[in-house]
């Protein structure tokens, strides 16, 4: 409507409205709105007479434009807010993902660090243990070296005699308990007593008293000639194959009465039977024996008999060394019974064999030995005290308290 009205206006009004429109545009200069100086007075008068354009229509159009501009601004602001909100949400999601990834990386790094730290701790502990072991070994070595040094520094000239006596006493104990050789043990103790006597030390008198007590106890032990017994038993084993076997043992014959023919005619039947019996005895003879007949041994059975007797003699030899008196006697008595049963006891070799078995069965193969030597702990204690006295000054100098 405004445009139609403007078309019906005269040229002067058009120029005035154009000037007004030009002033409404922002950023343009207002110089073109001024009328030129050559405008006639007539035109000015016409313009004065012409009424101004309708102001309400122009104000209505301006308010619509302002409302549209405000709406556009609000829409633009809402769009910008929505776009910014979406970007914020996207950035927050990305930040959460990055934080989760960072937490996972921290956890893995922590696990790796803890595993490496544990491995390192294990290595350190193992190295510490090895170090402790080596230190303990070094301490022991140092202690032994200190002992040896103290012995070398403070040893008396005759201490080697005491050490030799201790060695001899220990050897006597081994001979006594392992070999049951009382003779050798007695000689070793006497040699040890001689070494201690050479020291001429009154403080060692209790040791010598205990040593003489041990020597007396050893001399009281019954001496067993084991070698002699074993040699005699071995000779009997060698004599077994030459022993003669006994013949078959027959039972005693029961004596029988000899029947005679009577002179009476009434006994003709008995006389006839007696005559027939006497006549038959010239061809077949019957004798009655009371008891069983022991037959001769076959060659195979003779071999078994010899091996069994040798086995019993071997058992007796082992019993001599083990000092098993019951087993020793039982073995010899069983060998004697078999010899008397199956060999000819009228032969001198068999008689000598049985007599030797009887004599050996009476021998004693057991003995009672002392459980310990009284002098050995006393001698060990004396040596230990001397060594401690020599070590004490060395430790005091190194670690002054």
Q: Supply the DSSP string of 321-333, one letter for each residue.
A: HHT-HHHHHHHHH
pLDDT at 152: 57
- Its domain, for residue 310, covers 226-247+299-367
Q: For residues 176 and 218, is the Cβ–Cβ distance under 8 A?
A: yes
- pLDDT tops 90 at residue 330: yes
Domain end among 137, 154, 171: 154
For the residues 227-243, what does the mean pLDDT come to? 91
* Residues 243 and 341 reside in one and the same domain: yes
Listed range (70-84, 132-146, 165-179, 279-293) with the worst mean pLDDT: 279-293
Q: Region 222-250: what's the mean pLDDT? A: 83
- Which H/E stretch holds residue 193? helix 182-199
Question: Is 376 part of a structural domain of the chain?
Answer: yes
Query: In which band, very low, low, confident or very high, does the pLDDT at 372 lie, cut at 50, 70 and 90?
Result: confident
The pTM of the full predicted model, rounded to 2 decimals, is 0.43
Q: Please give the residue that has the higher pLDDT: either 64 or 252.
A: 64
Q: Regarding predicted confidence, which is higher, 273 or 166?
A: 166
Q: What is the 3-state secondary structure (H, E, C) of 236-253?
A: HHHHHHHCCECCCECCEE
Instruction: Please list, in sequence order, all residues whose beta carbon lies within 8 angstroms of the beta carbon of residue 288, skipping any fewer than 6 positions away.
Output: 253, 254, 256
More confident: 23 or 106: 106
- What is the residue-averaged pLDDT of the chain? 76
From 134, 154, 174, the end of a domain falls on 154
CB 237 within 8 A of CB 310: yes
Most confident segment among 36-50, 51-65, 275-289, 302-316? 302-316
Domain presence at residue 317: yes
243 and 339 in one domain?
yes
Domain match, 77 and 134 both: yes
**379 and 357, same structural domain?**
no
Give the residue-averaged pLDDT of 156-177.
Answer: 84
Does residue 181 belong to any structural domain of this protein? yes
Cβ neighbour number for residue 118 with a 10 Å cutoff: 10
Q: Is residue 60 part of a domain?
A: no
Asked if residue 200 and residue 177 are part of one domain, the reply reads yes
Q: Are residues 236 and 352 located together in one domain of the fold? A: yes
**293 Cβ neighbours under 8 A, 6+ residues apart:** 248, 249, 250, 251
Question: Both 109 and 230 in a single domain?
Answer: no
* 234 assigned to some structural domain: yes
User: Mean pLDDT across the stretch 33-37?
Assistant: 42
Residue 101: pLDDT over 80: yes
Counting every residue written for the chain, the total comes to 401
Same domain membership, residue 285 and residue 234: no
Please check whether residue 29 lies inside any domain of the structure.
no
pLDDT at 256: 56
- Lowest mean pLDDT across 46-55, 133-142, 228-237: 46-55
- Mark whether 315 and 343 lie in a shared domain: yes
Give pLDDT, residue 227: 87
Q: How far is it, in rounded angstroms, from Cα 315 to Cα 325? A: 11
Same domain? For 324 and 212 the reply is no
Pick the last residue of a domain from 154, 179, 204: 154
Residues 141 and 238 in one domain: no
The answer to whether 248 and 294 are in contact (CB under 8 A) is: yes
Q: Are residues 164 and 187 in the same domain?
A: yes
Higher pLDDT, 267 or 165: 165
Domain count along the chain: 4
Of residues 166 and 262, more confidence is placed in 166
Q: Note whether residue 26 is domain-resident.
A: no
pLDDT at 36: 41
Residue, of 113 and 319, whose pLDDT is higher: 319
Check residue 104 and give its pLDDT.
87
What is the per-residue burial (b if ≥16 Cβ within 10 Å, else e) of 21-48?
eeeeeeeeeeeeeeeeeeeeeeeeeeee
Say if 47 falls within a structural domain. Answer: no
pLDDT of 167 above 50: yes
Alpha-carbon distance of 197 to 244, in angstroms, equals 63
Query: Which of 58-72, 88-102, 133-147, 379-393 has the least mean pLDDT?
Result: 379-393
């Amino acid at each position: 409507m405004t445009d139609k009205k403007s078309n019906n206006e005269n040229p002067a009004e058009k120029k005035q409205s154009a000037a007004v429109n030009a002033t409404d545009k922002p950023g343009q200069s207002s110089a073109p709105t001024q009328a030129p100086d050559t405008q006639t007075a007539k035109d000015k008068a016409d313009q004065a007479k012409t009424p101004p354009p309708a102001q309400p229509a122009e104000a209505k159009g301006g308010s619509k434009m302002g409302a549209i501009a405000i709406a556009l601004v609000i829409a633009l602001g809402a769009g910008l807010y929505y776009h910014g909100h979406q970007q914020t949400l996207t950035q927050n999601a990305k930040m959460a993902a990055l934080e989760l990834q960072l937490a996972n990386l921290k956890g893995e790094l922590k696990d790796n660090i803890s595993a490496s730290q544990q491995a390192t701790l294990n290595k350190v502990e193992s190295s510490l243990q090895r170090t402790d072991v080596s230190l303990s070994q070094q301490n022991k070595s140092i202690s032994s070296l200190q002992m040896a040094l103290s012995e070398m520094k403070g040893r008396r000239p005759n201490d080697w005699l005491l050490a030799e006596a201790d060695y001899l006493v220990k050897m006597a104990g081994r001979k006594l308990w392992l070999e049951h050789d009382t003779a050798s043990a007695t000689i070793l103790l006497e040699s040890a007593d001689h070494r201690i006597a050479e020291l001429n030390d009154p403080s060692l008198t209790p040791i010598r008293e205990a040593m003489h007590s041990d020597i007396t106890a050893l001399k009281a032990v019954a001496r067993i000639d084991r070698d002699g017994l074993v040699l005699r038993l071995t000779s009997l084993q060698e004599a077994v194959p030459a022993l003669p076997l006994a013949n078959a043992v027959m039972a005693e014959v029961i004596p029988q009465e000899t029947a005679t023919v009577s002179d009476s005619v009434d006994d003709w039947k008995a006389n006839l039977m007696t005559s027939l019996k006497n006549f038959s005895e010239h061809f077949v003879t019957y004798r009655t024996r009371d008891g069983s007949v022991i037959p001769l041994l076959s060659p195979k059975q003779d071999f078994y008999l010899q091996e069994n007797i040798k086995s019993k003699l071997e058992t007796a030899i082992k019993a001599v060394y083990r000092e098993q008196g019951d087993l020793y006697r039982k073995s010899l008595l069983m060998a004697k019974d078999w010899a008397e049963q199956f060999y000819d006891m009228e032969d001198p070799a068999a008689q000598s064999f049985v007599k030797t078995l009887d004599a050996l069965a009476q021998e004693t193969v057991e003995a009672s030995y002392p459980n310990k030597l009284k002098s050995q702990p006393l001698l060990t204690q004396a040596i230990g005290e001397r060594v401690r006295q020599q070590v004490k000054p060395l430790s005091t100098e190194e670690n002054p308290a």
